[in-house]
Structure formats: C-alpha cells, structure tokens
Structure 1
Amino acid sequence: MPQKYIEKILRAKVYDVAIETPLDFARSLSERLQNSVYLKREDLQSVFSFKLRGAYNKMSLLDADAKHHGVIAASAGNHAQGVALAANRLGIQALIVMPTTTPEIKIKSVRSMGAEIVLFGDSYSEAYAHAQQLAEETRRVFVHPYDDPDVIAGQGTVAMEILRQHTAALDAIFVPVGGGGLLAGIAVYAKFVRPDIKIIGVEPDDADCLNRALQAGERIVMEQVGLFADGVAVKQVGAEPFRLAKKYVDEVITVSTDEICAAIKDIFDDTRSIAEPAGALAIAGLKKYVERGQISGQTLVAIDSGANINFDRLRYVAERAQVGEHREILLAVSIPEVPGSFLAFCKLLGGRSITEFNYRYFDPAMAQVFVGISSSGLETDRATIIGHLQAHGFPVTDMTTNDLAKEHIRYMVGGHAPCELNEIIYSIEFPERPGALLKFLLELGGRWNISLFHYRNHGAAFGKVLMGLQMPQTEQRAFEQCLHGLGFVYQEATDNPAYRLFSGGMR
C-alpha cells in the first residue's frame, strides 16, 4: 500500500546528514525550451549526490545488534560515499567493496570517511557478488543501493521537498534511473500527493534496464550496459523499484551519450556547476520530451542527481556536447582531387563554420575528407546540409551518430593502409587498471598480428580501443572467446563505414 511508503518517507531520518537542496530555476534553458525548467540540486549534498539519503535512513533504523556487526556495501562511487558518511555519523563500522577499476579519487573519498575498502573484480557485478559473500561470512548488514524499502523511502524525501518548494502548477518530474530506487521513492510520494504530475524516468539508451523490463512485462538482465553514465550502469532494475514503477511511473525516456553531454553543458550554462553524466540524465530526457512533443508553457522539474565526475572526462564531454545539441554535424565527403574543389565545397556551406577538417592524399581521383560543420541546433538542419551537398555532386556519408567515427576515426585520419591487409576490426572496452593491456597481449600470445590500434582514455573506469587483427575468419571465434574470457565488452566493426572510408587497406 502506498500509505506505508508515505509514512516511511515522512519519518525518514535523512536530515541528520542531508540538506534540503534548492529547487533552482534554469533561466537559460527555460528561455530556450519555452517552458519553466527547474533543477533539484542534489549535487549540492555533502557527498555531491542524493545517495546519502537512502543509506542513512536504512542504517539509522538498524537495531543494536546489527549496528554492532557493522554494514557492508558494493559501489564504485556515490552509494559508497553515502554509506561511508552515514556509518561515520552513526558510529557503525562500514566495509565497502569497490571494483579494482574505481578511480583513486573515489577510493580516497570513501576511506577519508573512515570506511574500510576491499577492491575486488573489474565490474560492479563482481564487487556486488563478493560483498554478498562477505556479508554472510561476517554477519554484516548489506546496504543495497536501491532495492530496499528503507533506502527507497530515504530517496523519496526528494519528492517531498520538491512539492513543498513548488506549490504551484507542476506538469512533470524527470528522474534518472539506474536500479530505480530514486525513481520509485519520488513516484510513490508524488503520485500520492499530486497524482496529476507526470513521473518520467530517464535512462541511457545503452543501459535501459527499466525500459526493457516494462516492455517485457518482467525484469530482464541486460547482457552488457554502456558505461559512460557509470552512476546508472545497472544490468537489472531492482525488484521493488520495478513493482512501484509499474504502478506509478508514467513513461521512460532513453537518451544517447551525446544528449547527456549536451545536458551537462546546459546545467553548466545555468548554474556554473558540472554534473556527472548520471546527474545530467534527467535534463537530457526533459529536453527530448519537449522536442518530441513540441511542449511549451509547462513547468518541468529535473533531478540533478550528482556531481562526482572525474576532471579528465571533461574533454570527452565537451567534444560530444556540440553533436548532442545538434550544433555540429560530422560528415565523410568525397571531393574531386583537383585544384579548387575545397573552395567549391566551402562556398556551398555559405556562412557556416567548419569545425574540423581531416584529410590525407590517397586516391588521385577522389579525396575522402572527414569534416565537422556548425549547425543551427535544429535536428532538420543535418538533412538540409547533406541534401544540399549531394545535389551539387558531393557524395556524403553521415557520421554524426557513428560512435566509431566520433571516438576513434576523427583522431586517426591520416591515410589508408598501403595494401589490403585482410584485417578484422574490433571495438573493445578495456578496464582502466594497471596491467590490463599487458594481460590482454599475453593472452593473445602472438597468435595474430595487430595491424591497427587506437586507444583514448576518457577518464572513466573503461577505455575504448579500436583494434585491427590480421586473421582468417575461421579464427574469429577463438579470438572472441579470448575476449569473453577476459571479460572485455567488444563489437566487430569491420563493416563500419568510418573505418572503410578512412582507415581500410587499399583494394
């Protein structure tokens, strides 16, 4: 019954550690979207995330015996800091299991609050399994990040504050979704007090476990999830959050990495603060909702859920934000290899700025250029530009949504291989920890020749590698089994047009 959750939320003991965060009016974003947009600033909590609410509420309700044995949690970031701070305030011993790929800054933050840390596994799922095992062995209470009624109730205090801070008309609240605890808490409270308000969950399109579960009618386990928005990179939505979401959530919207990056920039423009990818998720969903439905004149709230971002990820965010807000178009364009061709190409663009131009001589007849072009911000502008170029005899391949092009090829344009290499191309996610590359190469054992290798560190727990190997197709399965055995996420990219146009061997 929702009444039980309402009572839990009203009695939640979160304000011993949490503050009532402001509901800030986003002036620039509101003017641009022609709606009244507000940000619930959970990034201003002492641990820069809402997670301490649920963790503290759960732990404050433990009996004396449970507190004596201590608590344990598995987390790579925000939940770990919430549990550590709550334990410190309550005088409870805390053990946090973190993946070995966790950035040092987060490890230091958790340790500074007095928690003991165990580093285990390359992923959250491995750390989680180990924490469950340790909980049984040590009789510690496992503090779940989202699938627990007391944790959900703690997160639900966010909705209580929003409705107290904004008593006028309110059309929708947008909530980031990982395991679903924050969404469940907000939805059950808001729908009980103001059933007219839409509750909309927002997920990355490559980590949409709730969206898929709702479509299937049951919880599903995703084989792999995107790691850019690491705060919501969850393979399966929680059982209790899913039960509540089915009853009280109106819709789930999915957004791309580029749209998340654009939302980080939007938040910075209005607040001069930098959200983490998961923290900007709700704004990305809000913008998509407005654009999709041509919404205007409404009052919309987005949860800015956290600001725990590594500084060295900002380069990647800045690069992708322009595409995410439809202000940069990336194209592969064929231009005749004759004097004046580039001039003719530029004239066709009129007053538009060229943001990037990559070229190397390869074919005496036609040149392949990788070009970035500034755009008006309208989604339709891309089709207009492409159509205009094609109408004047310039063959175009759109690279704007091609991740391989954006993450690798644009930094590699320098010529094709001098001959046909019979190579197979893979895009691989490498764990960011010492020795990962050496371990991989030792596993290969010199069996196949590496003909192409490009790696960029985005400041995340995993880096992206583009790799070419010379091998017969009959050996592909053996190579992929090798990757699978190492736990690497991979995808064959041999037929990707970005590779074919700019890096493939001469035929």
Structure 2
Amino acid sequence: MTSFQDKAILAEHAIRGVLPPTPLQRNVHLSEAFGADIWLKREDLSPVRSYKLRGAFNAMRKVLAGDPGKADFVCASAGNHAQGVAYMCKYFQVKGTIFMPVTTPQQKIDKTRIFGGEHIEISLVGDYFDDTLRAAQAYCADIDGHFLSPFDDEDVIEGQATVAVEIEAQLGGMPDRIILPVGGGGLSAGVRSYVGDRCALTFVEPIGGACLLAALQAGGPVDLRKVDTFADGAAVGRIGVRTFDRLRDVSLVDMIQVSEDRLCITMLEMLNIEGVVLEPAGALAIDALKDLREQIAGKQVVCVASGGNFDFERLPEVKERAQRFAGLKKYFVLRMPQRPGALKEFLGILGPEDDISRFEYLKKSARNFGSVLIGLETKRAENFDALLSKLEAAGFTYTDITDDEILAQFLI
C-alpha cells in the first residue's frame, strides 16, 4: 500500500504542471524580533493567493483520472476555496458550479468569476453559509456531480500536504518547527500526516473559531455555539470528520488560540514593515510567534502564511481593532455639563499625545447635562490613566464602552 507520504510527494510532482513551488523566504525582521531563524511559506503568493488551489487540484485530478466523463464539479464557499475550484475548473476545462451566500462581497464574486471564466457558474443562495452548503449538496445530488469539500476529503488533505513536501525540499530537510493555521483542518491534517514526528508542529486557531480545540476537548467534532467570522479563512464552526481523524491525538500544549483583535496588530505590522498583505487567517501562524518566544529561541521555524485575499475596504476595521487591543483607542459616553466653557474645559484636559477621533452628542439627559459619545486615540496606552484621573478630578463622569459589545455594536 502506498504511504501517505508517497502520495503527497506524487501530488507535489503532479501540481508542478499548474504552479511552481510557492516561495519559502527567511524573514529578517521576525528573526531578529524573536531570536530565531524564521521563514515564511508564502501561500499568499499562489495564483489564487491561498493554498486552497492545492487541494482542489489534487481532488479534481483524481476524479478525472478515475472517470474522465465526470466533468461536473460543485462546491460551496464564500472565499478561497471557491477561487481555487474556479481556477482548476478552467485549468482542467471542466464545468463547475460554485454556490456562494447572497451576502458574499461583490469583490469575491468577481474574483471567482475571473479565475473560472466560462467554465463556472456562480449561484448565490442563502444568507448564511449552512443554507448555501445544503443547496450546493442538493444540487450536486440532482446532477450526479462531484462535491468538492474545502477540507473534509482525503484527496484534498493529500493536496494540502504538498505545502510540507515543498518546505522539506526547499530547506533540504525539516525545520525545528512548523506553525500552521487551522480552519476546517485540511492543511493541518495534511502537513501533520506528511511530517509525522520529524519536527514539532504548532496549530493556531482564531479564538472565535476554535473548532479543533472544541473537538479535542469533546473527543470528536462538535458545533461551535458561536463563530466570529472576522478571520473568515479559518472561521469554521465544526472541524471535518476526516481531518479530525488525523488530528485527534494532537496535544493541547501544541495548540494556540489567537485573539482576532491581536491578529490585526500582526496584519498591520506585516503590511507596514514588510509590505506583505495577509488576510486575517493568513496571519495566524505569524501572530502565534508571540506565544512561542521561549520555545523557538535559536530554532529554525517555518510559519505558513496561508492566504492574502484581503479586501482593503476592511483596513479601517483592522486598524480600529488593533488600536483597541493595544489600548491606544477607547470609547466613552461622557456626561457633559451644559454650561458655557464646559467643552473648552474638557479639551484642556487632553494631553499632547491625545486626539479626538469621534465626538457626537447623543442626547440631553437633564436640563444641565448631555451625553456625548467620544472616541479618543493616544500614542501610548498609559496616557489613558492620566487622562481619566484628570476627568474625575474635574468632576466629569463617564462610562468606558470600549469592550461593551452590545453598546459598541449600536453606538460605534
């Protein structure tokens, strides 16, 4: 029987007809920052700016090799998987139907259409992905097509393992550690199955989509009660059955859950310092370095930058979340006296590094007072301690709503 490692190597040879190996680049900035030899596996530089093309290619080539007449492929995706499938439908000259939620941003729909051209049809169904998935599977059964899972498929897992095959070839051996993002588990299951115990592995999930952690704690795949879709490339509500079978004995010590807000700091640093555009999920492995400083000191480490499909319309949100996490931006509801000079008095309390980013009267709560929504930015987090002390000494009352999800949702 052919081993998984041999299958992954064969898949890596086959995929050379589609794309060259993605770059493996030593990053000087990160290496110096963490006292280690840090390399980035740049999956964001693939033709579709993510690794998803690998699994789609491998699954489709195997289906077509076994049944050349099986030319109807179906998938459900709002992001990278859709683009990978579309790209491979055009490559193999076969028909694909891609189901996407009605709420999918037009930019993603347009990119998917460009990659697939006349070989794909895009069907917008459902407000939520679960509705989209059910519609895609029902359609696939009706036409007797082949459903291409984004991760829960042995051929997809095998295709994603080609990332590790390339890393080994490019380094001339295995590094001390590979850090991987985890969504539905296709990439992590494939890399782990190929690597075995030849190097340490760290698996990184967004806190709002930690489906592998939930499955490990429950002893099997479970539905997350709530999913934060910010890191959409890894925000999966339930890990795959097949992927979990390959990950069920992962130690919790080898897992990290990353805050979506902290992730924004890493995205901005990579953009501003390195000129590297990463989507939230694509920055997970790099962000996890902050939690591994002691373990990786002096070691050779590869971070898989899994994707770079980032819509720059989201940049203000990324900056906002990064500033709030770093303590450089806060929002308050301020009780402002309705008397001449009150606003001037408040402005005089602000320090030289403080700036007003938002100022909005909400209502007058009494004849002599009014409520003001105010957003403040500063250059150093400790500046807020001095500012709030001055406010209290001056008799201003306030409520900090920065971390109040309900109020922030309506007011900010």
What TM-score does the superposition give when structure 1 sets the normalisation length?
0.69
Looking at both structures, which has the greater relative contact order when contacts are Cα pairs under 8 Å and sequence separation is at least 6?
A: 2
The answer to whether residue 336 in structure 2 is matched with residue 332 in structure 1 is: no
Find the counterpart in structure 2 of residue 162 from structure 1: 167
SS in 1 for 2:57: helix
Task: Select the residue among 346, 355, 364 that pairs with 1:342.
Answer: 346
Give 2:346's aligned amino acid.
F
The percentage of aligned residue pairs carrying the same residue is: 35
Write the distance in 1 (CA, Å) between the matches of 2:299 and 2:139.
49
Answer yes or no: is the 8 Å Cα contact 2:349–2:391 preserved in 1.
no
Task: Select the residue among 142, 146, 152 that pairs with 1:141.
Answer: 146
**Deviation of the 1:18 alpha carbon:** 2.9
Answer yes or no: is the 8 Å Cα contact 1:386–1:396 preserved in 2.
no
The answer to whether residue 88 in structure 2 is matched with residue 94 in structure 1 is: no
The answer to whether residue 190 in structure 2 is matched with residue 189 in structure 1 is: no
CA RMSD of aligned residues (A): 3.2
Q: Deviations over 1:406-436 (max 9, x none)?
A: 55524xxxxxxxxxxxxxxxxxxxxxxxxxx
Write the distance in 2 (CA, Å) between the matches of 1:270 and 1:330.
25
Write the distance in 2 (CA, Å) between the matches of 1:405 and 1:296.
42
Write the distance in 2 (CA, Å) between the matches of 1:216 and 1:389.
50
Find the counterpart in structure 2 of residue 499 from structure 1: none
Answer yes or no: is the 8 Å Cα contact 2:178–2:303 preserved in 1.
yes
In the TM superposition, what are the counterparts of 1:3-82 in structure 2 within 5 Å? 4-12=3-11, 13-63=14-64, 66-70=67-71, 71-82=73-84
Answer yes or no: is the 8 Å Cα contact 1:329–1:382 preserved in 2.
no
Find the counterpart in structure 1 of residue 276 from structure 2: 273
Find the counterpart in structure 1 of residue 288 from structure 2: 285
**Deviation of the 1:359 alpha carbon:** 5.4
Give 1:101's aligned amino acid.
T
Q: How many residues align?
A: 397
Answer yes or no: is the 8 Å Cα contact 2:356–2:374 preserved in 1.
no
Q: 1:29 to 1:373 in 2, by over 3 A?
A: farther
Q: Deviations over 1:193-238 (max 9, x none)?
A: x23x2x2222222222112111222210124322222222321100
Answer yes or no: is the 8 Å Cα contact 2:211–2:237 preserved in 1.
yes
Write the distance in 1 (CA, Å) between the matches of 2:299 and 2:391.
40
Write the distance in 2 (CA, Å) between the matches of 1:403 and 1:303.
32
SS in 1 for 2:374: strand
Q: 1:54 to 1:200 in 2, by over 3 A?
A: same
Q: 1:402 to 1:41 in 2, by over 3 A?
A: farther
Answer yes or no: is the 8 Å Cα contact 2:179–2:302 preserved in 1.
yes
Find the counterpart in structure 2 of residue 464 from structure 1: none
SS in 2 for 1:118: strand
Give 1:141's aligned amino acid.
H
The answer to whether residue 228 in structure 2 is matched with residue 237 in structure 1 is: no
Answer yes or no: is the 8 Å Cα contact 1:389–1:396 preserved in 2.
no
Give 1:236's aligned amino acid.
R
SS in 2 for 1:62: helix
Q: 1:248 to 1:205 in 2, by over 3 A?
A: closer
Answer yes or no: is the 8 Å Cα contact 1:26–1:38 preserved in 2.
yes
The answer to whether residue 357 in structure 2 is matched with residue 356 in structure 1 is: yes
Write the distance in 2 (CA, Å) between the matches of 1:107 and 1:311.
16
**Deviation of the 1:156 alpha carbon:** 0.9
Answer yes or no: is the 8 Å Cα contact 2:228–2:235 preserved in 1.
yes
Write the distance in 1 (CA, Å) between the matches of 2:174 and 2:160.
23
Write the distance in 1 (CA, Å) between the matches of 2:177 and 2:406.
35
Q: 1:403 to 1:18 in 2, by over 3 A?
A: farther
Find the counterpart in structure 1 of residue 133 from structure 2: 128
SS in 2 for 1:206: helix
Mark the runs of 5 or more structure 2 residues left unpaired by the alignment.
Answer: none
Write the distance in 2 (CA, Å) between the matches of 1:321 and 1:129.
36
Q: 1:353 to 1:301 in 2, by over 3 A?
A: farther
Write the distance in 1 (CA, Å) between the matches of 2:39 and 2:261.
22
In the TM superposition, what are the counterparts of 1:399-410 in structure 2 within 5 Å? 399-404=401-406, 408-410=410-412
What TM-score does the superposition give when structure 2 sets the normalisation length?
0.83
Write the distance in 2 (CA, Å) between the matches of 1:388 and 1:173.
46
The answer to whether residue 287 in structure 2 is matched with residue 262 in structure 1 is: no
Give 1:97's aligned amino acid.
F
Find the counterpart in structure 2 of residue 228 from structure 1: 230
Task: Select the residue among 215, 218, 241 that pairs with 1:216.
Answer: 218
Write the distance in 1 (CA, Å) between the matches of 2:170 and 2:383.
41
Mark the runs of 5 or more structure 1 residues left unpaired by the alignment.
Answer: 411-507
Write the distance in 2 (CA, Å) between the matches of 1:243 and 1:382.
50
Give 1:48's aligned amino acid.
R
**Deviation of the 1:283 alpha carbon:** 2.3
The answer to whether residue 308 in structure 2 is matched with residue 316 in structure 1 is: no
Answer yes or no: is the 8 Å Cα contact 1:191–1:248 preserved in 2.
no
